[in-house]
Structure 1
């Protein structure tokens, strides 16, 4: 049972202020980029990881994971996955290789996990497995985290993973849409980022460890629906989240901070109408580093650490758009976004994932029943 640790909806005095104008719309780049198809005929691909020696590990939301070789040939679906609730926005979602993959062959993946007794209930889970040398079977399956509570919903699973240099895992979790108030409850995992050990369990240094009425896995709270996460070279955790209608955000996440949903937002209800008191600021709640009005439905994020596209782009963040079907480059000055540049405006593909490959180039996954793995070349 949820205790009423409902902070923000009742405990804060919100700042009554006019709803702000949108930030200036980004401009399309005049720079020419080449897009090369690496693989196609993927079924709603959601995430990719680069295998040592070449090839890719790709998840497909309907509940498949497969190896794609360097030539783009799709391998058969891997055996050994757990039961997956592939419904609505749920299914098999993010995947990352363990930092010691070359030694232990371990991967981490997250997915919509059905309740063992009632399959109509589900939540986001994180599991580990080892990939056999032939790339056909996942072994040693272990569920290392299950979001609480499980609910009857097919929306807002979140499900993006970032692994820190010490091996601990950050997992971005959605608030399951109709249950958005729980993003402000510290005894619920909904609308949170959690930090856990690779074998399972909260990290002892988490900000709410040992506190009553708070779950020890929680790292930050007040999130809506996290669709991308990355740890940049300087060790900072950046996440991208979907807003409602408008108000998509990129946030720089710090431990114990409250990112405001659904108390503050730059978006509004679908069909119009302000959410709650219709404010964008409140004491004790963080502001996004950057936001989009109208929505672009961002998904995927990568920091470019190479100079393959020239020195000016090194250090930028690259974010995909599902709705507008393009790529954005966010130029940073410290922790501020100083430029939002549209790339590939004629792509006409829903960009679900963005990663930098071992070759220093950017790779994209496109979300459709005939999804593609794309390489972006200067």
Structure 2
């Protein structure tokens, strides 16, 4: 019933701008994608074209050197950023990117120590197999869970969607690794013949938002549908999320995809958008600046050009609210600031770093 209500548009309600104020911290960014806040309060911003910037306390910007070769173009480029849970001690910065190579490109993840304004001791800890042609559907988000495992979301590279149902490749999968790239021995497919051991879940289309639930420690993710059918999912080890066998979307030409919207051996989504909002960026709010938003799930919308807030009752969505529609901007990335504000990156040629704070 909750999906039916959303599909009919009965639960979406706008929030007025007097519930928050918007601070512009930076503009003139070229399609910013990844964002992390350093222990000293400075920010690192990744631009999709393959640049990593430090936003200093005085508002100036410094270019960080040491990135690898990146296949930037289309949806590819420098993608997500994440700090090691013990970054203050070990200085490990993680980043995902579209990696060029034989056959085309694929999502990869590397880590390097951030020393001053340079990345050193770089290690590639994940390479999507196989590399394919095209410049769409790389994913990709990075999330550390409370046990220190690293989750990597991918896409099925658009033209290879049937491979999302096969376990001999990394396309359309969520990956789970130790922080150094080693495969955990309790991964669900580690002993299955012909399956790649790093796979945690499969049957995904293009996941550009992921976050760890603050209460359960479980990964939640949202993914792009085709023409309709964007999803929020609670991720389970070894589970099949259906693409392209089941979906609430349809072909861009208007035809049906797969077998419908439900399969008894595949996971149903928690929440669906029809028509698509093109979700990207995701966080569970746990800060103190907005007590009325505690435990809400926030999701950015690219095509929808808004920020979505889902209120939750356990693992049930009870209502959808919309923020920032007045900006008309593509919302790419969300990060909770240490002071309880919310950082927002807009994905545009003149992209901005915004911060949501309570009204003065």
* Class of the TM-score when normalised by the shorter of the 2 chains: over 0.9
Residues 307 and 313 in structure 1, CA contact (< 8 A), matched pair in contact too: no
Residues 329 and 346 in structure 2, CA contact (< 8 A), matched pair in contact too: yes
Give the number of aligned pairs.
352
Is 1:59 matched up with 2:46?
yes
Is 1:24 matched up with 2:4?
no
Q: Counterpart of 2:23?
A: 36
Q: Deviations over 1:315-366 (max 9, x none)?
A: 0011111112111100000001101101122111111001101011111000
Counterpart-to-counterpart distance in 2, 1:125 and 1:334:
34
Residues 247 and 258 in structure 2, CA contact (< 8 A), matched pair in contact too: no
- Runs of 4 or more, structure 1, over 4 Å off, are 19-22
Q: Counterpart of 1:253?
A: 235
Q: Counterpart of 1:127?
A: 110
Is 1:239 matched up with 2:225?
no
Is 1:99 matched up with 2:82?
no
Q: Deviations over 1:283-305 (max 9, x none)?
A: 21001110100011111001110
Residues 306 and 360 in structure 1, CA contact (< 8 A), matched pair in contact too: yes
Q: Which runs of 5+ in 1 are unaligned?
A: 1-18
Counterpart-to-counterpart distance in 1, 2:296 and 2:59:
28
**Matches for 1:69-218 after TM superposition, within 5 Å:** 69-76=56-63, 78-115=64-101, 118=102, 121-132=104-115, 134=116, 136-218=117-199
Counterpart selection for 1:221 from 197, 202, 209: 202
Residues 54 and 62 in structure 2, CA contact (< 8 A), matched pair in contact too: yes
SS state of the match for residue 346, structure 1?
helix
Residues 145 and 218 in structure 2, CA contact (< 8 A), matched pair in contact too: no
Question: Would the alpha carbon gap of residues 22 and 309 (structure 1) be closer, same or farther in structure 2, given more than 3 Å must change?
Answer: closer
Counterpart-to-counterpart distance in 2, 1:57 and 1:31:
27
Counterpart selection for 1:281 from 253, 262, 267: 262
Distance apart, 1:30 and its partner CA: 3.3
Q: Counterpart of 1:294?
A: 275
Counterpart-to-counterpart distance in 1, 2:162 and 2:58:
47
Counterpart-to-counterpart distance in 1, 2:171 and 2:154:
6
Q: Counterpart of 1:12?
A: none
Q: Which runs of 5+ in 2 are unaligned?
A: none
Q: Counterpart of 1:361?
A: 341
Counterpart-to-counterpart distance in 1, 2:326 and 2:40:
32
Distance apart, 1:165 and its partner CA: 2.3
SS state of the match for residue 306, structure 1?
coil
SS state of the match for residue 213, structure 1?
coil
Residues 145 and 201 in structure 1, CA contact (< 8 A), matched pair in contact too: no
TM-score normalised over the length of structure 2: 0.95
Distance apart, 1:71 and its partner CA: 3.4
Counterpart-to-counterpart distance in 1, 2:267 and 2:310:
20
Counterpart-to-counterpart distance in 2, 1:55 and 1:296:
31
SS state of the match for residue 7, structure 2?
coil
Counterpart-to-counterpart distance in 2, 1:348 and 1:107:
32
SS state of the match for residue 170, structure 1?
strand
Residues 142 and 153 in structure 2, CA contact (< 8 A), matched pair in contact too: yes
Distance apart, 1:212 and its partner CA: 0.5
Residues 145 and 219 in structure 2, CA contact (< 8 A), matched pair in contact too: no
Question: Would the alpha carbon gap of residues 318 and 88 (structure 1) be closer, same or farther in structure 2, given more than 3 Å must change?
Answer: same
SS state of the match for residue 199, structure 1?
coil
Residues 39 and 73 in structure 1, CA contact (< 8 A), matched pair in contact too: no
Counterpart selection for 2:318 from 338, 350, 371: 338
Question: Would the alpha carbon gap of residues 370 and 30 (structure 1) be closer, same or farther in structure 2, given more than 3 Å must change?
Answer: closer
Q: Counterpart of 2:253?
A: 271
Counterpart selection for 1:262 from 210, 222, 244: 244
